[in-house]
Structures are given as structure tokens and as C-alpha cells.
Chain A
Amino acid sequence: MSITVYVPRDAGALSLGAEAVAAKMAAEARQRDLDVAIVRNGSRGLYWLEPMVEVATADGRVAYGPVTPEQVASLFEADFLHGGSHPLALGPTEAIDYLKSQQRLTFARVGIIDPRSLDDYLAHGGYRGLGAALAMDAAAIVQTVTDSGLRGRGGAAFPAGIKWKTCLDATAAQKYIVCNADEGDSGTFSDRMIMEGDPFVLIEGMTIAGLAVGADHGYIYLRCEYPHAQRALEAAIASAEAAGYLGADVRGSGKAFRLEVRMAAGAYICGEETSLLESLEGKRGQVRFKPPLPAIEGLFGKPTVINNVITLATVPIILDQGAAYYRDYGVGRSRGTLPLQLAGNLKRPGLVERAFGLTLRELIEGYGGGTASGRPVRAVQVGGPLGAYIPASQLDTPIDYEAFVAIGGMLGHGGVVVFDDTVDMAAQARYAMEFCAIESCGKCTPCRIGSTRGVEVIDRIVAGDRAERERNEILLRDLCQTMLDGSLCALGGMAPFPVLSALEHFSEDFSGTAEKAAS
């Protein structure tokens, strides 16, 4: 009987040589005349162990990693096909601490199934959410999503159900579902992992959204830095169409839903929902004024639900298991789970999906294992390039939308980037302004001009003497206030967060070079 071996096709695993490992695996098996079926799964999210190879044994899946092509022959010699011992052996995959303690709802199938196989998806509980939704009326679907407490996982954390309700209540012959897959925040990769590792769950979530608000067409706006996700999504859409899960008559319901992938073109601002819609319409990605809300006047002027990948990919389990099941996870107004992405200087970077409420310290020290460099953690940026820098003294902050707002930060899309004590926080603050200047859409002045002036002011602080620093620090704070108050969207409106937090918690890094020379 054929033995199944899993070698990830996840872009991260590929970046560490998974393709060569898979090729070597196949060649070795052929040479030894062994009947081995290689499945290219997504990543389990244990990236320090990638490429992580798994074997389906009689006692469940066992893992080996990180595997190099040179080590493949020795794995065969150790009879890894039957779970044989080897220096790379990690034991049963599900028993690995990092994984065992997680609460994987949205990521339930990622790394487990073959993302190109609809049958595998169905065998692991796929499309049960759609089945439930097809038996409900539109308002009931929306109510379920509202009751689940699901909030937008893209960063803004707006209640998904309210957005859907607004769109459902809008009267129009044409409505759209748009998936924001322009995952541009540094330190985030959960959207990519879902799209590569379980693309059908996103398709299912969008189909349910279509039924809920009466939309028959969906777009996935995907960043062009994600070619692997594009291939996975396009393959999955084709399979779903062929099997009647997408198309003119979804599962014989008489309701149509079609889906298209549209490629972005490298503009960070297009992750902002209104500029994304402009881009989908074939224009420069400039932010729109709100109101009107996209749910009322969105894509091509029609009512549009626009949600992040994780938000939409979480909808199927809510419909399948019920609103209460999801709502029972989490704390306060942050319900359910959040797929957190551990990145930067960490021993064990990866994907951790847990209910809201655990602390940043548990994530960084527990899961992450401290810094990769072995040096002390100095700063943590949560929520992407617009997120505040959090000092080591605030690591006990719980993962909760409101708790982060309370310390002047934001949870955003759940990216956690760790820096050790070699980081220069004035340089990080400067970079935040520089990034804003590069990526500003140019529509509003505080962001377009403010970011450039911000870079200049920080340069003067760092280069100047004490008097120059004090003068310019007042100017920088004033400039940040103008950007916070006067910007049209979150780019200019939040770029001051990393700057001000660096200034507040790491002011010693801003003492000018002239000042340091004098002291």
C-alpha cells in the first residue's frame, strides 16, 4: 500500500528549499522501489522547522524537520516511512507543544490537507458552513455572523455582521463581495498561509457572504508579491466551479456566485478598502472620502462587502458550528480566535492561532522562545508598519483589541515583529515616516507632505545638538498630531504611532550625534 508523505508547497517552506526536498524524496522512493505518494500540503506554521516533512503512519502523522535534500537518503535509511528514529524526528505532529496548545479554528485544515484537492477539503469538514447557509435566509446568515462577534481581521476590527447588514439592507440589482488579500503589513503572512494552504475555505466564506447580502460576484484582490497564492486560488476556483460550488447555480440553490482573482501592483495603500476599490476599478489607488460607505456605494458604485481574507475564511466555521461556538472563545469585545504571526528576531517564528486574551509575553517567550540572536528583547512592533513599538516592560499586555488601544497601539492584522537590543529606534521611527512617504497615495496633505517632513525632522533630531533636538522634537510631535487628526485614512493617520511610541519609550536613541559627542 502506498505511504503518504507530506512536503509543504507553502511559499515560506519553498523559500527554505522544500521543492528540492520533494524532488529528492520522489527520486529516493523511486530508486528504492517504494510506493510513496507525495502530497504538497500547506505549512503547519512552524517555520523554524521548515521544510517540515510529515509521514502518515498507522499511529497518525509524524514529523521530521528541518529537512535538507542531503538528509533525505538518511531519512529513508532510518525508515522514516514508518516513523523510524532520526536526529530530525519531531514525533507525532499534533503533539508538538507549539501546535498542541493552539486553538486552530480558521486554520483548522492548513498544513493538514492537500490544498489542490476539493475531496480532501470535503473530507475534513469543508463546505459544511455553506450547507448550513443554504438552509437559512439571508438575514439569518447575517445574524449568525453578527452574533459570533467576528470583527474585521484586516486591522480595523469593525464588526463583520454590521458591515454585512448594511450591505444586505442596501437595495441594488448588483452587489459585490470583495476580499482584501493585499496583505501588505510587514510581519504578517496569515492570509498567504490560508490562501496557499486552504484556499477553499476562503472561497466558501465568500460564497456564504454572497448568499448573505445578495451578491453574485466576488473579487479577490491579491497582492502581486504572492504568486504562489495566486496559483493556489486559481486552481481551487476552477475545481469549485467544476463541482458546482461556484457558478450560475451554487449547489442547486438557484443562486449564482462567481469568483475572480485580480492582481494588485505593489501599492501598500491598496490594502485600505476604498483605495482597493479604486484599484479594482482600474484606477490609481487613491483613498475615497467616506461616506458613502462601501457597503452602500462600493465597487463600481454598487453595495459591496469588503473583508480581509481571515475574516472571510472564518465565516465557514461560524456557520458550521454556530455563532456561540465561536463567541465562546476570547475575552471582552474581542471574540473568537486570532491567527497571530510571530516574526522578526525570534527563535521560533510562525503562526499561532489562539483565543484572544493570551499575553504578548506568552507569545514571544513561550511560543517564540525569545530572540534568535539570544539577546534581550527591546521592542516589539505589533500590527504592521503603522503599529506602535512596544517596550519590553509592556509585554504583559493581553492580545485584545481594546487593551492594545489602551496602550496607544493596535492589534491590526496580528503581526508581531520582535527586535533585540541592537535596534536603533530613531532609525525605526525614521523608517516609519519614510515608508509612509513612499506609499502615500498623495490625496491628502498631512500624509503626502507630512511624511516627507517627518523624515527630515527626525534627521535633524539625530544629527543636531541638544537645543536642535528639543526644538525639532516639539516640531515632530506637532507634525504627528496634524497627521493623526488630519489624514484621510489610516496610513497618514497611524504612521505617527511607531514614531511617537519610539519617542516615548526609547527617547535615548534620539539624542543627536552632536549631543553624544559633547557628553
Chain B
Amino acid sequence: MKRVANAASLPDLPEEVRAAVLDVTGRLKSLPGALLPVLHGVQEALGYVPEHAVPLIARELNLSRADVHGVISFYHFFRSKPPGQKVIYVCRAESCQAMGAATLEKHIKQRLGVDFHQTTANGAFTLEPVYCLGNCACSPAMMVDDELKGRLTPEGFDAWLAAETK
């Protein structure tokens, strides 16, 4: 059954967003419980799930916009705004705390000039907290682009940053 809200005309979308969403929904919408895989797919393609893409995602999955919005906003991983070129996930959980994560966190924030959930002015890095990367035997840890760093010190972070920005 088509829901009434979705039968209404959809807002204009940039072509690349429309194409990305339709590509993902075309491949995945028949999966049972498809919404999370679809949102992962859209975020992988675009780097985020644009708010204005919600009506199209909802229509393609035959869900209400509220359903889709509710899911996006529930999960920490999904973002509605474009991130920096790289997202830095710094672990804040207990094992890392026991090995100096608070000092490391302060150092990284100061070095990048941003707080958690913010992007550096040049658009290079977005800083996000994470609650355990499963690298607790090598604390403290951070992850960038699926690449994990263990036993990270403030100096180690600076060295990494210097290599990234040179």
C-alpha cells in the first residue's frame, strides 16, 4: 500500500543524490529490513544521508518519512551533514581511559581546533567520539578510514597528522 505522504511530489534533489539513492535502493530494497543496509549504502556513496534525500528513500522503501528520519537520528553512525574528508573516531571508553584517553582527547581537540561532532575549518577532518573500537588490548585507540591505530600517544597523533597533511 502506498502511503499518502509519499504520493505527494518529492522535493527537488541534486542529480547525484537522486542517482545514488536510486542505485542503492534498486539493489537493496527487496531485502527484509532493508532500511539500515540502504542508509549504509547511501552514506557510503555520498559520505552522509542528506536530509532532502529522506522523502525519496521513504518512497522507495514504502515507509513514512518519519520512519526514515527516526532511524537516521537514532544511530550515531548516520550523519545528515557532509563530514570532512576524513572522519577521526577517538575512543572514549574505559579501557582507553585507563591508558590516558582523556589527555589524548584534549590534545586532539586542541590540535584540530574542534570539539566532537565538528569539522575543521579547512574541511579536512571531522572528529567523532566512539565508545570502544575493540582494540582494548592496545589502548588508547582511534580509527580513520577503517584503519585502526593502537597505543596512540599525543606525539603519535601529531606524527600521523603531519603525514596526513603534508
Q: Evaluate whether A265 and B76 lie within 8 angstroms (CB atoms) in the complex, with A281-B33, A282-B34, A439-B131 already known.
A: yes
Q: Which residues of A contact B61 (CB under 8 A)?
A: 282
Q: Evaluate whether A282 and B93 lie within 8 angstroms (CB atoms) in the complex, with A12-B150, A15-B149, A50-B138 already known.
A: no
Q: Which residue of A lies closest to B63 (CB)?
A: A282
Q: Which residues of B contact A15 (CB under 8 A)?
A: 135, 138, 141, 148-151
4 closest pairs, A vs B, by CB? A186-B93, A282-B35, A15-B150, A343-B136
Q: Which residue of B lies closest to A225 (CB)?
A: B133
| Interface 1/0 per residue, B67-87 and A, CB below 8 Å | 100110011111000000000
Q: Give the docked Cα–Cα distance between A372 and B100 (Å).
A: 12
Flag the segment in A94-102, A147-155, A416-424 that touches B. Answer: A416-424
B36 and A262 contacting across the interface, CB-CB below 8 Å:
yes
Q: Evaluate whether A385 and B93 lie within 8 angstroms (CB atoms) in the complex, with A16-B151, A349-B138 already known.
A: yes
Query: In chain B between 118 and 147, which residues have their CB closer than 8 angstroms to a CB of chain A?
Result: 130-139, 141, 143, 146-147
Contacting residue for A12 out of B32, B74, B137, CB 8 A: B137
> Is A325 part of the binding interface, using a Cβ–Cβ cutoff of 8 Å?
no
Instruction: Give the A-B pair count, Cβ closer than 8 A.
Output: 157
Query: In chain A between 224 and 241, which residues have their CB closer than 8 angstroms to a CB of chain B?
Result: 224-228
Q: Which residues of A contact B71 (CB under 8 A)?
A: 282-284
Q: Which residues of B contact A280 (CB under 8 A)?
A: 33, 36
Which residue, B76, B89, B149, has most C-beta atoms of chain A within 10 A?
A: B76
Q: Which residues of B contact A12 (CB under 8 A)?
A: 135, 137-138, 148, 150
Q: Which residue of A lies closest to B152 (CB)?
A: A15
B36 and A188 contacting across the interface, CB-CB below 8 Å:
no
Q: Which residues of B contact A412 (CB under 8 A)?
A: none
Q: Give the docked Cα–Cα distance between A14 and B147 (Å).
A: 8
A266 and B94 contacting across the interface, CB-CB below 8 Å:
no
Known: A45-B137, A47-B137, A47-B138. 19 other contacts (CB 8 A): A12-B137, A15-B150, A50-B138, A183-B134, A185-B132, A186-B95, A188-B134, A224-B40, A226-B134, A263-B37, A264-B36, A280-B36, A285-B74, A343-B139, A344-B95, A345-B98, A349-B137, A350-B137, A419-B98
Residues of chain B whose beta carbon lies under 8 Å from any beta carbon of chain A: 32-37, 39-40, 61, 67, 70-71, 74-78, 89, 93-99, 130-139, 141, 143, 146-151
Q: Evaluate whether A224 and B136 lie within 8 angstroms (CB atoms) in the complex, with A282-B36, A300-B32 already known.
A: no
Q: Which residue of A lies closest to B32 (CB)?
A: A300
Query: In chain A between 245 and 295, which residues have their CB closer than 8 angstroms to a CB of chain B?
Result: 262-268, 279-285
A417 and B132 contacting across the interface, CB-CB below 8 Å:
no
| Interface 1/0 per residue, A204-227 and B, CB below 8 Å | 000000000000000000011111
Q: Which residue of B lies closest to A189 (CB)?
A: B134
Shortest distance from the beta carbon of B100 to any chain A beta carbon, whole Å? 9
Q: Give the docked Cα–Cα distance between A189 and B136 (Å).
A: 7
Q: Give the docked Cα–Cα distance between A175 and B97 (Å).
A: 42
Q: Give the docked Cα–Cα distance between A16 and B139 (Å).
A: 11
Q: Which residue of B lies closest to A11 (CB)?
A: B148
> Is A381 part of the binding interface, using a Cβ–Cβ cutoff of 8 Å?
yes
B146 and A186 contacting across the interface, CB-CB below 8 Å:
no
> Is A40 part of the binding interface, using a Cβ–Cβ cutoff of 8 Å?
no
Q: Give the docked Cα–Cα distance between A385 and B132 (Å).
A: 10
Q: Which residues of B contact A344 (CB under 8 A)?
A: 94-95, 98-99, 136, 139
Q: Which residue of A lies closest to B89 (CB)?
A: A225
Q: Which residues of A contact B133 (CB under 8 A)?
A: 225
**A side interface size, CB within 8 A:** 62
Shortest distance from the beta carbon of B107 to any chain A beta carbon, whole Å? 17
> Is A336 part of the binding interface, using a Cβ–Cβ cutoff of 8 Å?
no
Interface of B, helix, strand, loop or mixed by DSSP: mixed
Q: Which residues of B contact A262 (CB under 8 A)?
A: 33, 36-37
Q: List 29 A-B contacts (CB under 8 A).
A: A12-B138, A15-B148, A16-B138, A16-B151, A187-B95, A187-B132, A188-B134, A189-B136, A224-B40, A225-B89, A225-B130, A225-B134, A262-B37, A263-B37, A264-B77, A265-B78, A281-B32, A285-B74, A342-B137, A344-B94, A344-B95, A344-B98, A345-B98, A350-B137, A351-B137, A418-B98, A419-B97, A431-B94, A439-B131
Shortest distance from the beta carbon of B139 to any chain A beta carbon, whole Å? 7
Q: Which residues of A contact B138 (CB under 8 A)?
A: 12, 15-16, 47, 50, 349
Contacting residue for A267 out of B67, B76, B93, CB 8 A: B76
Q: Which residues of B contact A435 (CB under 8 A)?
A: 93, 131
Q: Give the docked Cα–Cα distance between A16 and B96 (Å).
A: 15
Shortest distance from the beta carbon of B105 to any chain A beta carbon, whole Å? 12
> Is A166 part of the binding interface, using a Cβ–Cβ cutoff of 8 Å?
no
B40 and A349 contacting across the interface, CB-CB below 8 Å:
no
B136 and A415 contacting across the interface, CB-CB below 8 Å:
yes
Q: Evaluate whether A188 and B149 lie within 8 angstroms (CB atoms) in the complex, with A282-B36, A283-B35, A285-B75 already known.
A: no
Q: Give the docked Cα–Cα distance between A430 and B149 (Å).
A: 27
Query: In chain A between 418 and 446, which residues have their CB closer than 8 angstroms to a CB of chain B?
Result: 418-420, 423, 428, 431, 435, 438-439, 441
Q: Give the docked Cα–Cα distance between A196 and B107 (Å).
A: 32
Q: Give the docked Cα–Cα distance between A351 and B135 (Å).
A: 12
Q: Give the docked Cα–Cα distance between A435 and B35 (Å).
A: 26
> Is A184 part of the binding interface, using a Cβ–Cβ cutoff of 8 Å?
yes
Q: Give the docked Cα–Cα distance between A419 and B95 (Å).
A: 8
> Is A341 part of the binding interface, using a Cβ–Cβ cutoff of 8 Å?
yes
Q: Give the docked Cα–Cα distance between A435 and B76 (Å).
A: 13
Q: Evaluate whether A417 and B150 lie within 8 angstroms (CB atoms) in the complex, with A267-B76, A279-B36, A423-B98 already known.
A: no
Q: Which residue of A lies closest to B35 (CB)?
A: A282
Q: Which residue of A lies closest to B38 (CB)?
A: A282
Q: Give the docked Cα–Cα distance between A280 and B71 (Å).
A: 12
Q: Which residues of B contact A226 (CB under 8 A)?
A: 134
B143 and A225 contacting across the interface, CB-CB below 8 Å:
yes
Shortest distance from the beta carbon of A431 to any chain B beta carbon, whole Å? 7
> Is A469 part of the binding interface, using a Cβ–Cβ cutoff of 8 Å?
no
Contacting residue for A431 out of B97, B132, B146, CB 8 A: B97
